[in-house]
Every structure is written in C-alpha cells, then in structure tokens.
C-alpha cells in the first residue's frame, strides 16, 4: 500500500514539475518583482533603469546635392519590358550582364554606366545606361518597365535628357 501511494506521489510530482517547466519556459517574460511596500506581484518584461542614447546623433548618410547636367539634349524615348519579342533570348539580363530592374535605360550613343535624368517626366530620378538597343536606333533611348501595359501607355516621346 505504501509502495502504491509512493508511486502516485512520484507521478504527481512529475506532473507538477513538467507543468511548472512548461509555464516557466513558455512564458519567460513574466518575472517576479517587489514593489516599495514589499508585496510580490507579476510584471511583464524587464524595465530599463537608464535611457539608452544613440552613440552618433548626426545624420548617418551625407546629403548628396543634385548633380548638374554635363549635357542636355532632346531624344526620342520609348519604353520596353522583359519579353522575348522585345529583347533577345535572355530577357531579364541586360547587354552588360546585369539583371533588369527599375531605373535601367537602353541606348547606343552613351557608354555603360552613364547616369541620366528625364526631368520632364521623372523629375530628379536618376537612370543608368546598362542595356543596348538595335543598331538602327542609335540616337534613341528605351526605359525598362516591369509591366507591358506601362510601356505601352508610355508610348513614344521626345524628351529632354540630362546627361550627368
């Protein structure tokens, strides 16, 4: 009889032990604390004793002034997207081996990496030349767009181009 009672007691102790560990490790943010009077109550999370200040409070990145254009010209500008009918057999890779993305321009009369702006349409947004066009379109530019409908809506425009 004493053995059975001892067995039940061990099982009860194991159950309480597992339950305690489950609650303790499942909710680690609950801690015991004492108030000024000395009574114990639960608080959620830890409280900081001091206010943490930033080590460096100045702007982290310098402000870049708007670049002045080296050359301004009028060019016929169209839009294209990554479709094999409009590109070659690798539609998402530019002529210089980079992936197509917003801000890419295709043209033949500027060198790779040239920065340009279309102030009439895009304001101060800077584009980069990373793709080429068919040889017959030498003084034209193509702006890459993600959706075909956006490229169709852009159409053909004669825009002022600022070469930076």
pLDDT value at residue 139: 86
**What pLDDT, on the 0 to 100 scale, is given for residue 133?**
85
pLDDT under 50: residue ranges of the chain: 1, 43-44
Domain ranges of the chain: 2-44, 71-163
- Concatenating the DSSP letter of every residue in 1-49 gives -HHHHHHHHHHHHHHHHHHHHHHHHH-TTEEEEE-SS--EEEEES---S
Looking at residue 48, what is its pLDDT?
A: 55
C-alpha separations of 98 from 91, 101, 125 in Å: 11, 9, 20
Residue 34 structure tokens = 């004492």
Give the separation between CA 153 and CA 31, rounded to whole angstroms: 61
Q: What pTM value is reported for the model?
A: 0.58
CATH class of 71-163: mainly beta
pLDDT tens per residue across span 123-151: 889 999 988 888 888 889 999 888 888 88
pLDDT at position 4 is: 59
């Amino acid at each position: 009889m004493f053995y059975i009672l001892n067995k039940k007691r061990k099982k009860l102790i194991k159950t309480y032990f597992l339950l305690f560990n489950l609650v303790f490790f499942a909710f680690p943010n609950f801690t015991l604390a004492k108030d000024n009077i000395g009574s114990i109550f639960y608080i959620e999370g830890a409280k900081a004793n001091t206010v943490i200040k930033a080590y460096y409070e100045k702007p982290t990145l310098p402000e870049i002034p708007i670049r002045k254009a080296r050359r301004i010209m009028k060019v016929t500008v169209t839009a294209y997207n990554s479709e094999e009918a409009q590109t070659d057999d690798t539609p998402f890779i530019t002529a210089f081996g980079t992936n197509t993305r917003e801000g890419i321009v295709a043209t033949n009369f500027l060198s790779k990496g040239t920065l340009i702006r279309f102030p009439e349409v895009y304001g101060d947004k800077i584009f980069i030349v990373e793709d080429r066009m068919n040889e017959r379109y030498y003084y034209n530019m193509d702006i890459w767009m993600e959706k075909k409908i956006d490229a169709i809506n852009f159409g053909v425009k004669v825009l002022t181009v600022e070469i930076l």
